[in-house]
A and B are shown apart, each in its own frame.
Chain A
Amino acid sequence: MTIRPMVAIRNVDKTFGSYQALDGVSLDVMPGEVTCLIGASGSGKTTLLRSVNQLHPIDAGAIWLDGELLGKRQVGQHLHLLSDREIARQRRATGMVFQRFNLFPHMTAVQNIMEGPIQVQGRPAREVRAEAMDLLARVGLADKAGNYPSELSGGQQQRVAIARALAMKPKLMLFDEPTSALDPELVGEVLAVMQELARSGMTMMVVTHELGFAREVADTVVYMDAGRIVECGAPTQVLADPREERTRNFISKVLK
């Protein structure tokens, strides 16, 4: 018996105006695996993550999450676009962490985490608060529950953002350069939380320039260039012994 992929991306195209940001991208992400996406600026990494989370529609191809087609429904030979409401429901299965944290500034750390479960899932506040406090403890911020984002460091904000995404109990976590906006000494604390999350069996897609993290944590490393996947394989292969010239150039540039 073959295992069903958590994410199956098939021939996805995405253009912005006349610019092709994704060009026939196909990829499988297996349950419990960590896939790191690397590539130069503008190669389409963010666009791919946003497509998986349906933050924008794709032009062609299909994305499946845990066996469910995203954004469309097949009726006989025809495809029907899902309503905004149904797309919002599908998004709940995916958590996303942004480069610029995007915490809600008018809510405290614990309110940020409780917002989704209470407002979107309609769960009782008492139960949600207990879970939120557990999540804060898990990311090492139990004492910061009542602080507003403006009162937290970048690294602390990003850890709250991770807890906020986890509060929805997602099947898949997307990370878009989660440490790029951080001061160097704060990168480690966020990577440590992500590493712990990977060890706990979460399926993750991570856009990152931290090749050390990719080498240590990733099951698969994907190198993208100009909207295409150029190389995809185990970190030992893609990072240490790339087959493609372009991959080799990119890695030597990042390591410099």
Chain B
Amino acid sequence: MTDRSKLAPGYDDLHGKPVAKRLHWGRWMAAGILVILLGLLVRAFARGQIEWSVVGQFFTAQAILAGIVNTMFMAVLAMFLGIVLGIIVAIMRLSSNPVLVSVAAGYTWLFRGTPLILQLLLWFNIALVFPTIGIPGLWEGRAVDIMTPFVAALLGLSLNQGAYTSEVIRAGIISVDEGQHDAASAIGMSRMRALRRIVLPQAMKVVLPPLGNEFISMIKTTSLASVIQYPEVLHSAENIYFANSRVIELLIVAGLWYLIVVSALTPLQMLLERHFSRGTARRAK
């Protein structure tokens, strides 16, 4: 212990003096303004030409519920295919085979370079180019029968998603330390096994936050499939308001459903991120 008598005099240790609370004037003012603005907004909507009872009535309508199920079904399926495609294309892009590299680069260039709505319309109308499609000699069918709105939307959305996802996954793979490849090789792993067991699980940690973003974006992008008659939730809402002219009410119904679904996904994403960050985040002892 330090000898108190040797310390320089005149420096009080301030023991026992209470610390006064800081007044956060800025925060209080900002909150006040926000409350006033919100109040005005609520009043405007309450007085506006919106029949809230119609919103409530159609919120759980059969067609709307079927629509949101179709939206989710399409989003999950297209995202899944998009990720599979993205992984394959990312691996092709990083391979030493120049043919694979250019095929992968060409794919990404083509699908990222054109508007999605154009791609959807092209797939849906493919019968104009190829009246029959199939594997020559094995199986053939009329394009109009095969290219249903569902198939066209799935094809368009997943091919487009694959192009974006491949770039995200490629960045994730590159972010994994070179030494991990060496260590995997040194225990005799083949390139593919090292990728699957060692590199991709570590890349996932980097890739998941942007992929979560992409999935949320995908849920909303499925609404584009309404232009090719795929019965997702926006398309259902449109069909209803064409009949009853309650345009705003039904758009609000669809909007609320998108918000609900997207909000439900956030905790799910957190769970996934925690799983793939194992080993890096220190566990509580």
Contacts and interface: CB of A to CB of B under 8 A. Distances in A.
B190 A85 contact: yes
A86 to B, nearest CB: 10
A74 interface: no
Given A102-B179, A103-B183, A89 B188 contact: yes
A88 B187 CA distance: 8
Interface in B237-285: 276, 278-280, 282-283
B186 A165 contact: yes
B182 A116 contact: no
A104 B186 contact: no
Interface in B65-91: none
Contacts of B102: none
Interface string B154-192: 000000000000000000000001011011111111110
Contact of B188 (A88, A98, A106): A88
Given A115-B197, A149-B279, A106 B187 contact: no
A54 to B, nearest CB: 8
B222 interface: no
A148 B179 contact: no
A60 interface: no
A119 to B, nearest CB: 6
Contact of B191 (A84, A89, A95, A103): A84
B188 A104 contact: no
Given A104-B198, A105-B279, A150-B280, A92 B187 contact: yes
A133 B276 CA distance: 25
Given A115-B197, A150-B280, A150-B282, A104 B183 contact: yes
A43 B191 CA distance: 29
A119 B184 CA distance: 11
Contacts of A151: 282-283
B202 interface: yes
Contact of A100 (B179, B188, B189, B279): B179
Interface residues of chain B: helix, strand, loop or mixed (majority)? helix
A98 B187 CA distance: 12
Interface residues of A, number: 33
Interface string B215-255: 00000000000000000000000000000000000000000
A119 B189 contact: yes
Contact of A88 (B190, B280, B282): B190
Contact of A119 (B182, B197, B202, B278): B197
A102 B177 contact: yes
B201 to A, nearest CB: 5
Contact of A84 (B177, B187, B190, B278): B190
Contacts of B280: 105-106, 148, 150
B193 interface: yes
Interface residues of chain A: helix, strand, loop or mixed (majority)? mixed
A125 interface: no
Contacts of A105: 202, 279-280
Given A106-B279, A149-B279, A164 B179 contact: no
B282 to A, nearest CB: 6
Contacts of A107: 279
A158 interface: no
A92 B190 CA distance: 11
A102 B283 CA distance: 21
Contacts of A53: 185-186
B185 A55 contact: yes
Contacts of B197: 115, 119
A96 B188 CA distance: 11
A107 B184 CA distance: 13
Contact of A168 (B187, B276, B282): B187
Contacts of B184: 104
A98 B179 contact: yes
A10 interface: no
Contacts of A94: 186
Nearest to B277: A106
A150 B279 contact: yes
Interface of B: 177, 179-180, 182-191, 193, 197-198, 201-202, 276, 278-280, 282-283
Q: Which 6 A-B pairs have the closest CB atoms?
A: A92-B188, A116-B187, A102-B183, A102-B179, A148-B279, A96-B186
